[in-house]
């Protein structure tokens, strides 16, 4: 049985949660509070970005949604959930490129925490889809 999600109204006393994912050709993110969606974004990636690493694509997701939902996030603590484990340590990593320096500068001033969201596997241990 299917149910449709009803968008909730934001409450600035609760923590905002961004849950995102990147595929080979696009990205999708939902802004949530208390497990209820407030807003959605999906976007097709341009050809120039398609060959980037998963780390770079996931970081682009963060930068895109933080810019898009700036008014919700700039003065409030929020959580970012992604399925790329190394982004949890984004601020602790050595900045080895000019691009990473730019990412850190863009995220300064935000009160956020990046957490790893384990990807739900649709297949069982033997690779056969469970129904």
Structural tokens at position 126: 């033997």
Domain 16-116, architecture per CATH: 2-Layer Sandwich (3.30)
The strand pair at 26-33 and 16-22 is best described as antiparallel
Q: pLDDT tens per residue, the chain (131 residues)?
A: 456 667 778 888 889 999 988 888 888 899 999 989 999 999 888 888 888 887 788 888 888 888 899 988 888 889 998 886 666 666 666 767 788 788 888 888 888 888 887 766 544 444 444 44
Structural tokens at position 129: 């889809």
Phi/psi region, residue 123 (left: phi>0; alpha: psi -120 to 50; beta: rest), is: beta
- Listed by start position, the domains of the chain span 16-116
Q: Distance between the two ends of the chain, CA-based, in angstroms?
A: 13
Helix (H) or strand (E) holding 111: strand 111-116
| Residues written for the chain | 131
């Amino acid at each position: 049985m299917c149910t449709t999600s009803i968008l909730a109204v934001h409450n600035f006393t609760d923590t905002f949660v961004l849950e995102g994912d990147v595929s080979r050709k696009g990205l999708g993110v939902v802004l949530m509070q208390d497990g209820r969606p407030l807003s959605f974004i999906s976007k097709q990636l341009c050809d120039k970005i398609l060959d980037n690493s998963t780390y770079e694509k996931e970081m682009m997701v963060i930068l895109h949604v933080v810019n898009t939902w700036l008014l919700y996030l700039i003065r409030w603590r929020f959580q970012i959930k992604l399925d790329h484990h190394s982004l949890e340590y984004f601020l602790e990593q050595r900045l080895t490129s000019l691009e990473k320096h730019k990412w850190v500068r863009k995220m300064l001033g935000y009160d956020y925490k990046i957490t790893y969201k384990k990807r739900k596997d649709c297949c069982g241990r033997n690779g056969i889809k469970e129904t």
